[in-house]
Structure 1
Amino acid sequence: MPRRLLDALYWAGAAVAALALLGIFLLMMAQVVLRELGIQLPGADDLVAYLCVASAFFALAFTFRRGELIRVGLGIERVPPGMRRWAEAAVLALAAAITATIVWWTWQDAMFSLEIEEVAQGTVPFPIWIPKLSMPLGSGLLLLALLEELWRVAVAARKPAYVAAAEERAARGDFSAEV
């Protein structure tokens, strides 16, 4: 896939995550105001929970590409530079396999919820398959980013984008992601 299309997909995931966060904020503020007026907002708690899941899953690929996900580099950083590429490739392959499993099972779960017409048990019976889709879709974006990085490291023999991004931040004196 062309670089621009992949970046657009990752940005779209981040935008959906940002909109989910905005939705959480608006729902919570609406609840505060309405409580003062003695009015309840039915289903708000359920919606906030669904939006929390969406904000986490849709942000994964964008965050990964920027090198801002928590990553334990203690092992890889101790590997000699000549073998580091293969260690990165092995870790990326393992992460891709685990993520593919997550995509598969969360997709199966969402489709099963659609098949049995499962609804939320809260005050408003939302069709539960809709919020469940955020898990396989967000994980699918992450899987795409992992496979892209695996190709970049194993086939193109280039430095992973997340490593390059972290190095660029360090060169600018920005250590905020390292805290």
Structure 2
Amino acid sequence: MDAFARLTYRGLLALACVSMIGALTAITLNIATRLVDGWSITGLDGYAGYSIAAAFFLALPSALMQGDHIRVSVVLQNAGPRVRLWLEYWGLSVGLAIAVYLAWFSCRLVWFSHLYHDVAPTGDATPMWIPQVSMALGTVGFATAFLHALVSRIQGRSFFKEASGEATPSE
């Protein structure tokens, strides 16, 4: 299960990379069309924004696994082993609770946008549930990664990766 979860995080990261390429393409195309007098493609600004937001949310699980999210490492390093263990459990539990709420809210937002036919206020009138799906996928992956980290910590296994490539449970 651990290998499947890590493969899923890498898959979401690959989608984040594709989203960044989409943002670059939309911005470049927008600039190129502005250079041509009287010609413009409506919605390119919106698509660039959707792509950047998708990249952010889809990269959340992989960033957590790599240890790239803000952590209070100074406090953990100076705490005793017993206090450090409880701080890690507390931090992962609170992070999981917040991530689960964010995932629930994101999925609910996608559902309501689809249900009420919410569209973008831009000229292209994109159905909002389409770009919001990437947010829901990313936040569900993020909550899964927090659960994975907490279960790994409880089992005494490592989850977070160090710069050397080896994983440690307390980074």
Same fold (TM over 0.5): yes
Q: Distance in 2 between matches of 1:144 and 1:42?
A: 37
CA contact (8 A) 1:57 1:138 kept: yes
Q: Distance in 1 between matches of 2:153 and 2:32?
A: 51
CA contact (8 A) 2:30 2:45 kept: no
Count of aligned pairs between the two proteins: 165
Which one-letter code corresponds to 1:112 in the other structure? F
Q: Distance in 2 between matches of 1:4 and 1:77?
A: 29
CA contact (8 A) 1:103 1:140 kept: yes
1:20 to 2:26 alignment: no
Q: Which moved more, 1:32-41 or 1:135-144?
A: 32-41
Which one-letter code corresponds to 2:6 in the other structure? D
Instruction: String of CA shifts for 1:13-56, please: whole Å, max 9, x gaps.
Output: 10111011000101111111111122212100111111111000
SS state of the match for residue 156, structure 2?
coil
1:103 to 2:103 alignment: yes
Which one-letter code corresponds to 1:131 in the other structure? P
Aligned partner of 1:176 in structure 2 is: none
Runs of 4+ in 1 over 3 A off after TM superposition: none
CA contact (8 A) 2:92 2:146 kept: yes
1:1-179 matched pairs, under 5 angstroms: 2-38=1-37, 39-154=39-154, 156-159=155-158, 161-162=159-160, 164-166=161-163, 168=164
Identity over aligned pairs, percent: 25
Q: Which moved more, 1:36-45 or 1:122-131?
A: 36-45
CA contact (8 A) 1:93 1:150 kept: yes
Which one-letter code corresponds to 2:139 in the other structure? S
Which one-letter code corresponds to 2:149 in the other structure? E
Offset at 1:137?
1.2
CA contact (8 A) 1:85 1:157 kept: no
CA RMSD in angstroms comes to 1.6
Q: Distance in 1 between matches of 2:10 and 2:165?
A: 19
Q: Distance in 1 between matches of 2:48 and 2:120?
A: 13
SS state of the match for residue 162, structure 2?
helix
Which runs of no fewer than 5 residues in structure 2 stay unpaired?
167-171
Q: Distance in 1 between matches of 2:165 and 2:109?
A: 39
Offset at 1:169?
6.4
CA contact (8 A) 2:110 2:133 kept: yes
Instruction: String of CA shifts for 1:124-170, please: whole Å, max 9, x gaps.
Output: 0000011112222101111111111101112x1234x32x424x369
